[in-house]
């Protein structure tokens, strides 16, 4: 019974630590006991892999858990605001954010020997890419953290946190592209440090080991190093592409210090400007390489430099503060000036189109009809003009009135076949009774005036 009880207890412990899956396989239970030290302490994104019994598994959870550093490459931008009229005719602000040639690299790490594989861990932020680290560039989540070079704060110490004797902070810096006016600022957790140049180690040992190549062959030279308390400033001036630099800061503690509750953090920042000519040459070289490798013209044309935001390229465009003003129409209307006559369809058919979307204060003009005279069966309609030629849009539509006048055609009687009918004298002569009156009236008036004179002459 005693053995059975022990066996039962052991079995229950196994089931508490290992859940049993539906397929009969053991799966790790979600419990605080198996949450990594990193996750419990820092609560930051992480990656992990099987420890395989490694002594670097400090929290003994069977995994090596590493911080996933945030991208320390901050592409500088500027904002351009322009007031435009959009496709709806409304006014709005177009706000374009473009990348500039400004450079900002950031790196920050914590000295915490309780982390798994701590000297390769604890990186809150850094700049890196597959040219200087052994990483999978096909991993989209990882690729989003890449930048155009390398800046990281490497760290290790002698003895444990409670008995710290020496702490070391090694700043590793490399740039894939030429940079002008480069300055590095290091913020240490304390003053009283010493420093040594480790550029040769970075170029000839570190980079060949981590990426199997020697891309960074040019050594940067610090023109000046200034230390003010815990702040160190290094001025490089202009640096070439594919260049690197390393410096190590050392702090000794006598007697040993206890940092169990005060884990130290060091940060580094690099600022400057990208060299535009250097970027142009680097892009040309990349396109030539693509051409030699058989890339299509479209791919070559669309190529940009790796791991960086090209200066003058657009980050985003957004629109704000849209204002749509009240809009009015310009309408044309035709009327007849001839009493008793209505405008025929042929005249109304050439009415000018309505002008739309006019804003207050806009000067508008009447549109002339396509023709000024329209022939109809019984005469001609003639356009006599608008009531006014122009106007200013107020708070309502504008209407222009165009006037037309009718001119009747003269009546004619043509010769007709009469056979046995008596032909009217009007028809014979082609002159109407009204026209006869107009012709004979002057003759009769002249005769009346002349009759007394003629009578006197004849002695009547």
Question: pLDDT tens, 197-236?
Answer: 999 999 999 999 887 667 899 999 999 999 999 999 999 9
| pLDDT beyond 90 at 54 | yes
pLDDT for the residue 5: 41
Q: Which of 290, 318, 346 is the last residue of a domain?
A: 318
- Could you tell me the two tokens for 103? 């450079």
Domain co-membership, 340 together with 439? no
pLDDT for the residue 436: 53
Assigned domain for 230 exists: yes
CATH of the domain at 363: 2.60.40
Domain co-membership, 386 together with 254? no
Confidence of residue 324 (pLDDT cuts 50, 70, 90): confident
Domain co-membership, 288 together with 160? yes
The helix/strand/coil state of 452 is: helix
Domain co-membership, 149 together with 96? yes
Domain co-membership, 194 together with 297? yes
Please tell me what DSSP assigns to residue 207.
H
CA dihedral 392, 398, 399, 400 (to 10 degrees): 20
Assigned domain for 47 exists: no
Assigned domain for 62 exists: no
Domain co-membership, 251 together with 305? yes
> Secondary structure of the chain: what % helix, strand, coil (to 5)?
25, 40, 40
- Structural domain including 348 reads 327-408
pLDDT for the residue 453: 59
Domain co-membership, 346 together with 441? no
Domain co-membership, 336 together with 356? yes
Please tell me what DSSP assigns to residue 370.
S
Q: Which of 298, 318, 338 is the last residue of a domain?
A: 318
pLDDT digits (tens, 9 = 90+) for 381-408: 999 999 999 999 998 999 999 999 999 9
The arithmetic mean of pLDDT across residues 246-273, rounded, is 97
- Judge whether 378 and 406 are in contact, CB under 8 Å: no
Around 223, how many Cα atoms within 13 Å sit in the side-chain half-sphere?
9
Long-range contacts of residues 86-91, Cβ cutoff 8 Å, at least 24 apart: 86/319, 86/322, 88/324, 89/324, 89/327, 89/357, 90/322, 90/323, 90/324, 90/325, 91/322, 91/323, 91/324, 91/325
How many beta carbons lie within 10 A of that of residue 181, not counting itself?
14
What is d(CA 221, CA 17) in angstroms, rounded to the nearest whole number? 55
Assigned domain for 18 exists: no
- Judge whether 128 and 152 are in contact, CB under 8 Å: yes
pLDDT digits (tens, 9 = 90+) for 295-323: 999 999 999 999 999 898 999 999 999 99
Hunting for tokens 């815990």 — which residue is that?
230
The arithmetic mean of pLDDT across residues 145-163, rounded, is 95
Q: Phi and psi (nearest 5°) for 194?
A: -115, 165
Domain co-membership, 303 together with 437? no
Assigned domain for 12 exists: no
Our count of domains for the chain comes to 3
What is d(CA 143, CA 160) in angstroms, rounded to the nearest whole number? 34
pLDDT for the residue 28: 35
Buried-exposed string 208-234: b where 16+ CB fall within 10 A, e elsewhere: eeebeeeebeebbebeeeebeebebeb
Q: Point out the least confidently predicted range of 141-145, 168-172, 228-232, 235-239.
A: 141-145
How many beta carbons lie within 10 A of that of residue 95, not counting itself?
15
pLDDT for the residue 282: 93
Question: What pTM was estimated for this model as a whole?
Answer: 0.67
Domain co-membership, 333 together with 312? no
- Could you tell me the two tokens for 228? 């003010």
Distances (CA, A) of 264 to 6, 36, 100, 340: 46, 20, 34, 103
How many beta carbons lie within 10 A of that of residue 331, not counting itself?
16
Percentage of the residues of the chain whose pLDDT score is greater than 70: 81
pLDDT for the residue 429: 52
What is d(CA 112, CA 115) in angstroms, rounded to the nearest whole number? 6
Assigned domain for 165 exists: yes
Distances (CA, A) of 432 to 26, 350, 410, 423, 438: 123, 37, 11, 13, 10
What is d(CA 139, CA 261) in angstroms, rounded to the nearest whole number? 36
The CA R_g of the chain, rounded to the nearest whole Å, is 49
Confidence of residue 4 (pLDDT cuts 50, 70, 90): very low
Residue closest to 95 by CA, chosen among 289, 259, 315, 416: 315
Assigned domain for 2 exists: no
What is d(CA 72, CA 44) in angstroms, rounded to the nearest whole number? 15
Confidence of residue 439 (pLDDT cuts 50, 70, 90): low
Angle 32-34-35 from CA coordinates, rounded to 5°: 65
Assigned domain for 13 exists: no
Domain co-membership, 303 together with 348? no
Domain co-membership, 272 together with 376? no
Q: Which of 318, 342, 370 is the last residue of a domain?
A: 318
Confidence of residue 142 (pLDDT cuts 50, 70, 90): confident
- Judge whether 262 and 189 are in contact, CB under 8 Å: no
CATH of the domain at 288: 2.60.40.1170
What is d(CA 292, CA 299) in angstroms, rounded to the nearest whole number? 13
113 pairs with which residues across the strands?
none
The arithmetic mean of pLDDT across residues 259-272, rounded, is 97
């Amino acid at each position: 019974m005693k053995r059975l009880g022990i066996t039962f207890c052991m079995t229950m412990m196994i089931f508490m630590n290992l859940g049993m899956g539906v397929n009969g396989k053991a799966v790790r239970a979600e419990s605080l006991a198996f949450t990594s030290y990193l996750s419990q302490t820092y609560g930051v994104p992480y990656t992990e892999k099987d420890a395989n019994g490694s002594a670097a598994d400090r929290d003994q959870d069977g995994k090596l858990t590493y911080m996933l550093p945030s991208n320390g490459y901050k592409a500088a931008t500027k904002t351009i605001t322009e007031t435009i009229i959009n496709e709806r005719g409304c006014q709005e602000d177009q706000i374009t954010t473009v990348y500039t040639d400004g450079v900002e690299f950031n790196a920050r790490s914590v000295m915490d020997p309780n982390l798994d594989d701590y000297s390769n861990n604890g990186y809150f932020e850094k700049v890196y890419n597959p040219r200087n680290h052994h990483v999978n560039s096909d991993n989209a989540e990882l690729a989003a953290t890449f930048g155009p070079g390398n800046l990281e704060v490497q760290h290790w110490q002698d003895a444990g946190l409670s008995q710290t004797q020496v702490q070391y902070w090694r700043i590793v810096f490399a740039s894939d592209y030429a940079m002008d006016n480069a300055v590095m600022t290091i913020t240490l957790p304390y003053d009283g440090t010493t420093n040594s140049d480790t550029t040769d180690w970075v170029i000839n040992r570190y980079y060949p080991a981590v990426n199997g190549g020697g891309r960074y062959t040019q050594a940067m030279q610090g023109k000046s190093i200034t230390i003010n308390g815990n702040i160190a400033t290094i001025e490089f001036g202009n640096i070439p592409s594919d260049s690197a630099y390393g410096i190590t800061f050392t702090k000794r503690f006598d007697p040993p210090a206890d940092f169990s509750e005060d884990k130290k953090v060091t940060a580094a920042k690099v600022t400057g400007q990208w060299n535009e000519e250097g970027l142009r040459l680097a892009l040309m070289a990349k396109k030539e390489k693509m051409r030699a490798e058989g890339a299509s013209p479209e791919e070559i044309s669309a190529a940009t430099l790796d791991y960086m935001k090209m200066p003058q390229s657009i980050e985003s465009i957004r629109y704000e503060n849209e204002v749509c003003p009240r809009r009015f129409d310009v309408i044309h209307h035709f009327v007849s000036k001839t009493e008793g006559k209505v405008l025929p369809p042929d005249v109304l058919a050439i009415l000018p189109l309505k002008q739309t979307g006019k804003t207050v204060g806009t000067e508008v003009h009447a549109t002339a009809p396509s023709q000024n005279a329209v022939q109809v069966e019984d005469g001609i309609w003639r356009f006599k003009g608008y009531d006014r030629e122009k106007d200013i849009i107020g708070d309502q539509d504008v209407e222009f009135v165009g006037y037309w006048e009718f001119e009747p055609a003269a009546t004619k009687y043509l010769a007709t076949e009469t056979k046995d009918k008596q032909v009217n004298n009007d028809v014979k002569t082609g002159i109407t009774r009204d026209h006869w009156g107009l012709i004979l009236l002057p003759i009769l008036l002249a005769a009346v005036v002349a009759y007394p004179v003629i009578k006197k002459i004849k002695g009547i």
